[in-house]
């Protein structure tokens, strides 16, 4: 019997779906005894080291896990699960890990690189193994700010290492015990194949392949993301739509570019590195009542094994019966439905306004609450900025840039005003104030839209992307304006954006995702 250790944090649905897709049955562990007695145990991990360890200890699972490891019964840990094997973590000082591997879990240095590491990277196998038997060097999906350090006393555990600023432990294996920092359940068909190797009772050992030459470092790929803006049309059907500068109506009708579940599956099969759903009317329709959106996520995660982000309406809410839902409640529901990340738009602006006014981290905002439980990497901020032109930086107290695209009256400067409610309302916050505040409060990634470019096919706003990229150290997803493959090459060669997102060109089948990747490869841009 295959059991899954679900301790109530993060998206475990994808692991279950992955196992079921492989033709196996999987059930959740109900007691510490089952942790010890089951045939195969999968221990997935998302979230904060301190929260995870606390839940493992209070449920009696921590001791049971240590016993299982000492008894060498098959166990596969994923992500934070690998980190719990260590003695302690910089993420939660004073909290003890399971302590089966010596050494510490450390934080990546964000003065040198974007933290979290979010994306597809390679691994370098160090020894023969069951897990990596037949592994052919494909990139795998990582999402983490902390990593297991390599020290002399843990070398016997190391199965593979990866480079991200520093070289860190990306997989461990000893006997029947294995754990990986990447997410096999989010690493497409190759990741599922790895899960399969864990489930098979094969004793075959081999040293998996690596894409790296001896001594060469691994590199994270630039991600290509397909975005599905979703809303109900006038007939009440949930459809994928697409706006021109956020106007999704054509001759009065909501544009219908397809069905969300089918389109997401198509993009997965075509090689999208991630898929994002934005419920674009979420700010006015409370999403917990919006069961179709949850159903979209549940259905999609049955067949799509790359990361899924969901945005729209992630904020606190009191329903007509007076029942209060915190933003954390709303986000949790989405994580349980199969989301790996949630994206906050309008509410992030309100949170930033409050933070800019008080300078206090109350711990109560949506960003702080969700980040604390699920980790920074699960909290994306979707920004909807629009240009405001000025003649001189002295004309405003906002962060300005000198622009090569002058304003309608020849203005040479502009700032980027944040908007809420799908661009309907401008706020007195600029894009730098917003993104820096959100980073300080615990957000892990910025989805940088651009109302001026959205749906225009005229290319990404490189000035905006550089402006934000230089101001923060969390990853930036460039969005809005992609019209041809060269635009992706351009955004990755002229900015340090970690990912590029597009909607219209993919929905209208103007450019296959494959062609984007091919053009990137020809320009020596690291791709999956």
Catalytic residue status for 185 = yes
Catalytic residue status for 38 = no
- Kindly state whether residue 188 participates in binding ligand 1PR, applying the rule CB under 6 A: no
Choose between 15 and 348: whose C-beta lies nearer to ligand 1PR: 348
Neighbouring C-beta atoms of residue 522, cutoff 10 Å: 10
171 membership: H or E segment, kind and range:
strand 166-174
Stretch that binds ligand 1PR, among 69-77, 195-203, 214-222, 307-315 (CB under 6 A): 307-315
Both tokens of residue 73?
């019964």
- Kindly state whether residue 148 participates in binding ligand 1PR, applying the rule CB under 6 A: no
Neighbouring C-beta atoms of residue 165, cutoff 10 Å: 16
Catalytic residue status for 237 = no
Find the shortest distance in angstroms from Cβ 435 to ligand 1PR: 14
- Kindly state whether residue 2 participates in binding ligand 1PR, applying the rule CB under 6 A: no
Rounded Cα gap, residues 243 and 245, in angstroms = 6
Contacting residue, 32, 97, 191, 312, with ligand 1PR by CB under 6 A: 312
Polymer length in residues for the chain? 528
Choose between 191 and 455: whose C-beta lies nearer to ligand 1PR: 455
Stretch that binds ligand 1PR, among 173-181, 345-353, 366-374, 387-395 (CB under 6 A): 345-353
Rounded Cα gap, residues 344 and 376, in angstroms = 13
List, in order, residues 6 or more apart from 185 with CB less than 8 Å away: 14, 15, 17, 18, 44, 78, 191, 192, 195, 305
Q: Scanning residues 272 to 291, which ones bind ligand 1PR (CB under 6 A)?
A: 278, 280, 282-283
Tell me if 178 sits within 8 A of 171, measured CB to CB: yes
Contacting residue, 3, 139, 242, 469, with ligand 1PR by CB under 6 A: 242
- Kindly state whether residue 261 participates in binding ligand 1PR, applying the rule CB under 6 A: no
- Kindly state whether residue 385 participates in binding ligand 1PR, applying the rule CB under 6 A: no
- Kindly state whether residue 170 participates in binding ligand 1PR, applying the rule CB under 6 A: no
Stretch that binds ligand 1PR, among 15-23, 120-128, 257-265, 477-485 (CB under 6 A): 477-485
Rounded Cα gap, residues 467 and 430, in angstroms = 11
Contacting residue, 119, 313, 338, 475, with ligand 1PR by CB under 6 A: 313
Integer angstrom CA distances of residue 190 from 71, 90, 194, 457 = 29, 31, 6, 33
Site string for ligand 1PR, 433-472 (x = CB under 6 A): ----------------x----xx-----------------
- Kindly state whether residue 129 participates in binding ligand 1PR, applying the rule CB under 6 A: no
353 membership: H or E segment, kind and range:
helix 346-358
User: What is the 3-state secondary structure of 141-201?
Assistant: EEEECEEECCCHHHHHHEEEEEEECEEEEEEEEECCEEEECCCHHHCHHHHHHHHHHHHCC
Choose between 26 and 310: whose C-beta lies nearer to ligand 1PR: 310
Choose between 44 and 481: whose C-beta lies nearer to ligand 1PR: 481
Rounded Cα gap, residues 69 and 85, in angstroms = 10
Radius of gyration of the chain measured on its C-alpha atoms? 23
List, in order, residues 6 or more apart from 77 with CB less than 8 Å away: 43, 44, 45, 84, 85, 178, 179, 180
Stretch that binds ligand 1PR, among 23-31, 63-71, 426-434, 497-505 (CB under 6 A): 497-505
Residues near ligand 1PR (CB under 6 A): 227, 229, 242-243, 246, 248, 278, 280, 282-283, 311-314, 343-347, 382, 384, 422, 449, 454-455, 479-482, 502-504
Active site residues: 79, 183, 185, 229, 384
């Amino acid at each position: 019997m295959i059991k899954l250790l679900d301790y109530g944090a993060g998206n475990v649905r994808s692991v279950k779906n992955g196992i079921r897709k492989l033709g196996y049955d999987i059930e959740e562990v109900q007691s510490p005894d089952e942790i010890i007695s089951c045939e195969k145990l999968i221990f997935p991990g998302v979230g904060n080291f301190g929260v995870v360890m606390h839940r493992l200890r209070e449920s009696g699972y921590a001791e049971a896990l240590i016993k299982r490891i000492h008894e060498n019964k098959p166990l596969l840990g994923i992500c934070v699960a690998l980190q719990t094997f260590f003695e302690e973590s910089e993420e939660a000082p004073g909290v003890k890990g399971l302590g089966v591997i010596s050494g510490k879990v450390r934080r990546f240095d964000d003065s040198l690189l974007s933290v979290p590491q979010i994306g597809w990277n390679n691994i370098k196998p160090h020894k023969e193994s069951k897990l990596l038997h037949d592994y052919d060097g494909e990139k795998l999906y990582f999402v983490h700010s902390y990593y297991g350090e390599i020290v002399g006393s843990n070398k016997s555990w190391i199965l593979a290492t990866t480079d991200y600023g520093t070289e860190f432990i990306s997989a461990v294996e000893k006997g029947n015990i294995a754990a990986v920092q990447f997410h096999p359940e989010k690493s497409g068909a190759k990741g599922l194949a790895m899960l399969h190797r864990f489930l098979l009772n094969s004793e075959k050992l081999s040293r998996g392949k690596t894409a790296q030459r001896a001594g060469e470092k691994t590199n994270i790929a630039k991600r290509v993301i397909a975005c599905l803006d979703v809303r109900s049309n006038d007939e009440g059907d949930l459809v994928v739509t697409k706006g021109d500068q956020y106007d999704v109506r054509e001759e009065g009708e909501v544009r219908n570019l397809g069905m969300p579940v089918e389109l997401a599956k198509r993009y997965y099969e075509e090689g999208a590195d991630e898929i994002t759903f934005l419920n674009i009317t979420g700010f006015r329709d409370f999403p917990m009542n919006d069961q179709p959106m949850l159903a979209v996520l549940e259905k999609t995660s049955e067949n799509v094994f790359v990361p899924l982000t969901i945005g729209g309406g992630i904020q606190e809410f009191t329903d007509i019966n007076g029942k209060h839902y915190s933003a954390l409640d709303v986000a949790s529901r989405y994580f349980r439905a199969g989301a790996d990340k949630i994206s906050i738009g309008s509410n992030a602006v309100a949170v930033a306004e409050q933070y800019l006014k008080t300078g206090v981290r109350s711990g109560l905002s949506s960003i702080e609450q969700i980040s604390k439980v699920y980790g920074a990497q699960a909290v994306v901020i979707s920004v909807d900025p629009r240009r405001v032109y000025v003649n001189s930086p002295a004309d405003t107290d906002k962060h300005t840039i000198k622009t090569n695209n002058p304003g309608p009256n020849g203005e040479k400067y502009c700032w980027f005003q944040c908007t809420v409610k799908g661009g309907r309302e401008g706020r007195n916050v600029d894009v730098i104030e917003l993104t820096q505040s959100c980073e300080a409060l615990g957000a892990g990634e910025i989805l940088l839209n651009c109302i001026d470019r959205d749906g225009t096919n005229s290319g990404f706003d490189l000035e905006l992307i550089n402006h934000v990229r230089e101001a923060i150290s969390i990853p930036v997803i460039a969005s809005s304006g992609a019209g041809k493959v060269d635009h992706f090459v351009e955004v990755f060669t002229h900015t340090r954006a970690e990912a590029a997102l597009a909607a219209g060109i993919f929905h209208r089948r103007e450019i296959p995702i494959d062609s984007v990747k091919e053009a990137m490869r020809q320009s020596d841009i690291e791709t999956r």
